[in-house]
Each structure stands twice: as C-alpha cells, then as structure tokens.
Structure 1
C-alpha cells in the first residue's frame, strides 16, 4: 500500500535517506519541506521501505527522489511508487529527473519505464560524477498540442 507521507514518518525517512544517500542525503528539515511544500507530492510505502517525491511546476513534474531500502528491492516497489506519482499528472507534458551516470541499476529502471536521456550535467554530484537528465513524455503533452520534443 502506498500513501502520502506524514510528519510522523520523518524519523524513519531521515534514517533511510542517510542510509541510501550518505553525504547527499536530505536532512529532516529538507524532508519536512518536501512533505509540506507547495507543488510537492511525497508518497511512501506503508512499511516505509520506499518513497518517492515529486515537484510540479507548470507542465513539468520533477521526480526528485525515488528510493527503496536495499533489502526490499527487486519486489516492484520502485515501479509501484513511480506509478503512484504518475497519477494526477494529466496537465503535465513531461517528467524529468537526474540520475548519476554511475548508477546502472537506476538507469536501467528508468529506461525500462520510458525515460530517455536529454542532457548531461558534469560534476553534478558531490563525488564529481555526472548526472544524466532524463525525460518521460506524459499524456498531457499529446493533449495540449503545444509540447514538442524540443521543449
């Protein structure tokens, strides 16, 4: 079961962030801002084994985080979380994300879920690695008639 994150989830989410992202982890203050912030959508699995965070602005939805605890991976949780944050994106033309060029597992996941690389951000991460900017066109792009692959 996937549900909206609540402030009661903060301690567990803060610990999971630190475990998964190390020095790049969001702290409790940042997580609180993502739960409460305008245009944000923060969903979690009931057991807090995974979560996803998006931010909507205009016709773009940014996938800011999608994360699953290592012992809960390969069970379809990331796909379920992505499916959940795609619900309600009817007015958006595309979803964007950044992923480390060295994260082969995540890259494979995103390509399988219809994302494609549209840009590279050199030295994006703290360790100096590049980020690949990926895009998935959404149904809203077809309905508006204004979005093009060059937007």
Structure 2
C-alpha cells in the first residue's frame, strides 16, 4: 500500500540512508538540523513500511521552498515521484501558499523534465552553485486553487 506521512526525528537514519543511495546531498547532522528549522515539513513516501521517497519543504508566509525531493532509484519512472509532487502541491494549496520554489542542477536533465511536467519554469540561475561546479536553475510554480 502506498502512503505519505510526516517524518519525524526518529526517522533521521532512514532519510540519511535514502540520501546516501541517491543524491548524497546532506550529512546526518544536516538532516538533524532540517527537523529543527521553523516552518519545515518533511514527508515520506512509503510502500507498506519501506521509505522510497522524501520531500523536505519549508513554508514562509505564502511561499514554500522545496529543499529536498527524491525517490529511490529502484522506484523511479513508475509514477511515485508524481504522486509525491501532487501531494506536495495539494498541501501548499491547503496552506494558502502562492509560490512553490526549488533549485535543480543544470546537469540534472531528468529532474528538469520532471519539474517541467508540473509547470515549474526557470526564473533564475545561480552560477557554479553545486560542488561539481554546475549551475542551479531556480524554478517557481504559481499555486492557484
């Protein structure tokens, strides 16, 4: 059974392990600090009790920033990422969020295609933003009810 639930600090190890096997973006300490940030919400996508996806987003007034979004590689191209993104967009609508923002590497063509399916146009660029020297594309989706 597929479900989405709020993740709490007890699940840091699961989040860190999924990150290690996918993006390798954050250390365990960084994961711990995400759970303490004001306005940050962390949700997990599960099949039965197996964590296969995570979304970390932060709400500030009427905007939300996606800080982390991943689905385990074994479960990609099966609709799970879309399921998680649609959930996130619905949550933003409920929270009266007007804009949903994110960054994606210019070299991440698959990620760019994924976000374009949800109407995230590029609104800016951060040059040499990532460790590998690639640019970050700033994307923004307007949320309307």
TM-score range, shorter chain: 0.7 to 0.9
Instruction: Call closer, same or farther: CA 1:35–1:85 in 2, change over 3 Å.
Output: farther
CA contact (8 A) 1:62 1:96 kept: yes
3-state SS of paired residue (2:35): helix
Structure 2 equivalent of residue 121 of structure 1: 126
Structure 2 equivalent of residue 74 of structure 1: 77
Q: How far apart are the structure 1 equivalents of 2:29 and 2:54? A: 17
Deviation, 1:114, is: 0.9
Q: From 101, 108, 127, give the equivalent of 2:106.
A: 101
Q: How does 1:19-30 map to 2 (within 5 A)?
A: 19-22=21-24, 25-30=25-30
CA contact (8 A) 1:41 1:85 kept: no
Runs of 5+ unmatched residues, structure 2: none
Rg (Cα) greater in structure: 1
RMSD over equivalenced CA pairs, Å: 1.4
Runs of 5+ unmatched residues, structure 1: 141-151
- Please report the TM-score for the alignment, with normalisation by the length of structure 2: 0.88
What is the aligned residue count? Answer: 138
Q: From 125, 139, 143, give the equivalent of 1:134.
A: 139
| Structure 1 or 2: more helix by fraction | 1
Q: Which moved more, 1:73-82 or 1:129-138?
A: 73-82
Structure 2 equivalent of residue 6 of structure 1: 8
